[in-house]
């Protein structure tokens, strides 16, 4: 590339950058900040997640998948109740938050680019994490 065309190229790049709308930058830098789990205890052996619906909505995940995951990880049955989830065990909020964070790390966060704009899809009998940002498709362990 000679000097003249290099200058022209540089100019073209600079112009292109100035034309990117402000919102384009905002989307890229959007922070991933899921709601903190809020609970209360019902009787001795039940833990109710008050904002279960809010969390699954934020994560863009089927509430059933997170329910099954919690059931497995906490080794306790869980029943949905509107936007809440009733866990049939007593679990403190830190343990619960850590378990949800673990779910996010495994089933929400893209292992390739680290983005959170993903979808969970069943492909044949496998569970795949599809990234909307980089396009990666990563197999994830099944939740039975
Ligand atoms: Zn990605």
47-96 pLDDT tens trace = 999 999 999 999 999 999 999 999 999 999 999 999 999 999 999 999 99
Q: What is the pTM (predicted TM-score) of this model? A: 0.78
N- to C-terminal Cα separation, the chain: 58
HSE-CB at 32 with a 13 A cutoff on CA atoms is 14
Q: Which residue, chain included where needed, has tokens 């008050």?
A: 50
| Position 27 pLDDT exceeds 80 | no
Domain ranges of the chain: 33-108, 112-144
Query: What CA–CA distance (Å, rounded) separates 55 from 61?
Result: 9
CA of 50 to the centre of ligand 1 (A): 31
CA of 110 to the centre of ligand 1 (A): 5
Fold annotation for 33-108 = Alpha-Beta Plaits (3.30.70)
Residue among 107, 99, 104 at smallest CA distance from 129: 107
Query: What CA–CA distance (Å, rounded) separates 38 from 55?
Result: 10
Ligand 1 is an ion; its neighbours by CB within 5 Å are: 110, 112-113, 115, 131, 133-134, 136
Q: Token pair of 102, please?
A: 């673990």
């Amino acid at each position: 590339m000679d000097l003249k065309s290099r200058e022209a190229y540089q100019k073209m790049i600079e112009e292109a950058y100035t034309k990117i709308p402000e919102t384009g930058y905002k989307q890229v830098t959007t922070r991933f900040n899921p709601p903190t789990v809020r609970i209360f205890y019902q009787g001795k052996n039940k833990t109710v997640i008050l904002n279960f619906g809010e969390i699954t909505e934020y994560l863009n995940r089927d509430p059933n998948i997170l329910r099954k995951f919690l059931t497995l990880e906490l080794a306790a049955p869980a029943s949905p109740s509107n936007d809440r989830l009733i866990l049939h065990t007593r679990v403190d909020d830190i343990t619960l938050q850590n378990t949800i964070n673990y779910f996010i790390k495994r089933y929400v966060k893209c292992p390739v680019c680290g983005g959170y704009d993903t979808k969970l899809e069943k492909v044949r009998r496998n569970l795949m994490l599809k990234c909307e940002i980089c396009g990666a498709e990563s197999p994830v362990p099944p939740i039975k």
